[in-house]
Amino acid sequence: MVIGITGGIGSGKSTASKLIEAKGYRRLDCDEIAHELLASDGKTREEVLAEFGKGVLGEGEGIDRKALGAIVFEDEKRLRALEAILHPKIRQAWESKISQAPEEDWIVEIPLLFEKNLENRVDFTVCVFTDLSTQVERLGRKGMARTQVLARINRQMPIPKKAEKADCVLLNDGSLEFLEDQVKQLLTLI
């Protein structure tokens, strides 16, 4: 079983997927894969520098994700250019890991699952749903300014639309125990 989990930024995808991981699933996080590519993959680094210039170069050999984010979340065309570099590599990485252990059950965090039409690459889709004020509050606690949060939210499909497309929706506006109860219920159904 391969579950693809999505939701908006700050909705709690990682929290939900870690709860599923604790029930025996192997977890993959596409954001973590992207961070690894930007930090340590030489070919990705070269492509990003060629597209965005040395201003996105961080300390050491990696890319400064904050500097890169400041560029791409203000300009749709630049965001698409970055996605063209990263998304095929990210998809190849998670599909490769799954193909190496097809007998395992997997949970894959894919923020743009529906935006990139990847729902046919997984067996079951889950959307983690939360309201906008909760998203802004959670990301504010992580140090993101409200304008940054809203810019990123506006670049994604609205959570209600993701929820409509998903096989299952987990509501994450309550306690951790409430989310955990929903995860337990979900896993009895699939």
- What average pLDDT does this structure show over 163-167? 96
Q: What is the pLDDT of residues 69-82, one digit of tens each?
A: 889 888 889 999 99
Q: Same structural domain for residues 47 and 117?
A: no
- What average pLDDT does this structure show over 46-54? 93
Q: How far apart are CA 119 and CA 100, in angstroms?
A: 20
Q: Is the pLDDT of residue 181 over 80?
A: yes
The C-alpha angle 73, 76, 81, rounded to 5 degrees, equals 95
62: number of Cβ within 10 Å: 19
Looking at the domain assignment, is residue 12 inside a domain? yes
Q: Is the pLDDT of residue 7 over 80?
A: yes
Q: Same structural domain for residues 87 and 109?
A: no
Looking at the domain assignment, is residue 187 inside a domain? yes
Q: Same structural domain for residues 70 and 109?
A: no
Q: Same structural domain for residues 94 and 136?
A: no
Looking at the domain assignment, is residue 63 inside a domain? yes
Q: How far apart are CA 93 and CA 37, in angstroms?
A: 10
Residue with tokens 């998203």: 135
Return the pLDDT at 142. 86
Q: Is the pLDDT of residue 190 over 90?
A: no
Q: How many helices (H) and strands (E) does the chain have?
A: 9, 5
Q: How far apart are CA 130 and CA 132, in angstroms?
A: 7
Q: What is the pLDDT of residues 103-154, one digit of tens each?
A: 999 999 999 999 999 999 999 999 999 988 898 888 888 888 888 888 888 8
Structural domain containing residue 66: 37-104
Contacts of residue 30, defined as CB under 8 A and 6 or more positions apart, other chains included, come to 90, 94, 108, 109, 110, 111
Looking at the domain assignment, is residue 30 inside a domain? no
Of the candidates 130, 123, 92, the one whose C-alpha atom is nearest the C-alpha of residue 107 is: 123
Q: Same structural domain for residues 109 and 172?
A: yes
pLDDT band at 40 (very low <50, low <70, confident <90, very high): confident
Give the CATH number, domain containing residue 100: 3.40.50.300
pTM here is 0.89
Q: Is the pLDDT of residue 170 over 90?
A: yes
Q: Same structural domain for residues 110 and 174?
A: yes
